[in-house]
């Protein structure tokens, strides 16, 4: 009888454990679903700030663009860990007399990714659902059926008959627009579908690394910075770097995979599910070679896989950190993402977890001597 009771208690405890919410999964969903195009990051900042506050040792600071600067420690080298809050989006440009809207795109969109998509306009009265329409196959001439239609030919349809109905919805020129693509766990796998993984996945890495280092002794000043307006010119990172004045910069981004149908080997070598990535080159930054070696050594010591890639046509916040404080050694670490800069991207949970492990391992190995060596370019005899 006692054995049966013990088994019943064990089963009950097991079921209770299985029903516990996954804190990380919940955080990823909240971040992915939050609207935050460049210059309108309020909803993302509203998630980041309360998540950061329990783990800071100094009051939170903000730069003039709305970036959030969270600090741990007051002595030692100044390490800036950066992820950007904004996502690709748009802005209402004009409301036409017949109730359609034109849109100014924000960030690096492909024209073919814009047609027949759902969007959300952040209006003064709340979210307004919209769609970029598409011409009906029955009336499109045969010679136009394979054409990519330019963004300037597209209109947002909010269901209004005229401009007055649009204004009554609380929509006007300048209102932010974001993709409408809810977070989804893909068919019981460890792959997560959602919008804005560039760079909400980096924001989640930043928060989890911050939570872990708050309970670990380290000889550094760690500045966890959630920046704004990366997608339109790294503007928040420039302002935040001027305040932080980092000795070392670590950008955390959404990477680019080369494991999809039709991919070319020279475009990307990174695979989903194969671990964090490290950029050896992109259009905005060439990383410090010593910091590249340091990152590889940290990954080896922690038994973590590390993918390396060179990507053209890609820029990130490490460029602004690198140009600050008289020149700062920087590295761009990435969580691989399939289908970046579109409505529907895919990330892998194990890649996320391992990226957090790598960032923490690096921060624990950095100290004054290591930072001095990374910044030393004196020719050796």
CATH number at residue 114: 2.40.30.40
Q: What is the pLDDT of residue 216?
A: 94
Catalytically active residues are: 230
Residue 231: what are its φ and ψ, rounded to 5°? -70, -10
For 111-128, the pLDDT digits (tens) are 899 999 999 999 999 999
User: What band does 186 get if pLDDT is binned at 50, 70 and 90?
Assistant: very high
Q: What mean pLDDT is predicted for residues 79-102?
A: 97
82 and 134 belong to one structural domain: no
Binding-site residues sit at: 84, 198, 231, 253, 341
208 and 333 belong to one structural domain: yes
Binding-site residues for Zn(2+) sit at: 84, 198, 231, 253, 341
212: which residues sit within 8 A by CB, 6+ positions away? 356, 360
Q: What is the pTM of this model?
A: 0.91
347 and 362 belong to one structural domain: yes
Helix (H, G, I), strand (E, B) or coil at 229: coil
Kindly report which listed range (28-32, 71-75, 142-146, 261-265) carries the lowest average pLDDT score: 261-265
User: 183-188, long-range: CB within 8 Å, 24+ apart, which pairs?
Assistant: 183/28, 183/29, 183/32, 183/33, 185/25, 186/346
57 and 105 belong to one structural domain: no
Instruction: Identify whether 217 is part of a domain.
Output: yes
Q: Is the pLDDT of residue 315 over 90?
A: no
User: What band does 370 get if pLDDT is binned at 50, 70 and 90?
Assistant: very high
124: which residues sit within 8 A by CB, 6+ positions away? 170, 171, 172, 175
> Domain residues for 173?
91-179
364 and 335 belong to one structural domain: yes
User: What band does 90 get if pLDDT is binned at 50, 70 and 90?
Assistant: very high
Instruction: Identify whether 95 is part of a domain.
Output: yes
For 11-58, the pLDDT digits (tens) are 555 554 455 679 999 999 999 999 999 999 999 999 999 999 999 999
Instruction: Identify whether 379 is part of a domain.
Output: no
Count of domains forming the chain: 2
Q: Is the pLDDT of residue 9 over 70?
A: no
Instruction: Identify whether 260 is part of a domain.
Output: yes
50 and 138 belong to one structural domain: no
246 and 309 belong to one structural domain: yes
User: What band does 365 get if pLDDT is binned at 50, 70 and 90?
Assistant: very high
3-state secondary structure labels for all residues of 336-365: CCECCCCCCEEEEHHHHHHHHHHHHHHHHH
Instruction: Identify whether 381 is part of a domain.
Output: no
Instruction: Identify whether 13 is part of a domain.
Output: no
CATH number at residue 253: 3.40.630.10
Distance, CA of 34 to CA of 346 (rounded, Å): 16
230: which residues sit within 8 A by CB, 6+ positions away? 38, 84, 86, 199, 236, 237, 316, 317
């Amino acid at each position: 009888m006692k054995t049966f009771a013990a088994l019943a208690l064990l089963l009950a405890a097991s079921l209770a454990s299985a029903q516990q919410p996954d804190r990380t999964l919940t955080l990823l969903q909240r971040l992915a679903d939050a609207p935050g195009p460049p210059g309108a990051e309020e909803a993302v900042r509203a998630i980041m700030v309360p998540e950061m506050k329990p783990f800071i040792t100094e009051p939170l600071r903000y730069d003039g663009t709305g970036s959030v600067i969270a600090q741990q420690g007051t002595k030692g080298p100044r390490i800036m860990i950066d992820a950007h809050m904004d996502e690709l989006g748009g802005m209402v440009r004009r409301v036409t007399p017949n109730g359609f809207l034109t849109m100014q795109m924000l960030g690096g969109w492909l024209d073919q990714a814009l047609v027949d998509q759902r969007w959300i306009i952040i209006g003064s009265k709340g979210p307004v659902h919209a769609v970029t329409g598409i011409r009906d196959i029955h009336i499109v001439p045969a010679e136009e059926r394979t054409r990519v239609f330019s963004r300037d030919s597209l209109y947002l349809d909010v269901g209004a008959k005229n401009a007055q109905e649009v204004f009554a919805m609380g929509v006007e020129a300048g209102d932010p627009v974001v993709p409408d693509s809810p977070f989804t766990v893909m068919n019981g796998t460890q792959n997560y579908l959602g919008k804005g993984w560039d760079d909400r996945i980096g924001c989640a890495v930043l928060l989890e690394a911050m939570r872990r280092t708050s309970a670990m002794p380290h000889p550094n000043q760690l500045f966890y910075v959630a920046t704004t307006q990366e997608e339109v010119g790294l503007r928040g990172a420039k302002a935040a770097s001027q305040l932080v004045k980092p000795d070392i910069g670590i950008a955390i981004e959404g990477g680019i995979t080369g494991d999809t149908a039709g991919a070319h080997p020279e475009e990307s070598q990174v695979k989903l599910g194969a671990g964090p990535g490290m950029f050896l080159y992109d259009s905005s930054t060439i990383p410090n070679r010593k910091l590249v070696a340091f990152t590889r050594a940290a990954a080896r010591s922690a038994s973590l896989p590390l993918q390396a890639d060179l990507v053209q046509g890609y820029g990130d916040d490490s460029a602004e950190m690198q140009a600050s404080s008289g020149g700062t050694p920087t590295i761009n670490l990435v969580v691989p993402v399939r289908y970046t800069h579109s409505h529907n991207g895919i990330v892998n949970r194990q890649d996320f977890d391992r990226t957090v492990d790598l960032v923490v391992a690096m921060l624990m190995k950095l100290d004054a001597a290591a930072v001095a060596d990374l910044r030393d370019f004196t020719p050796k005899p």
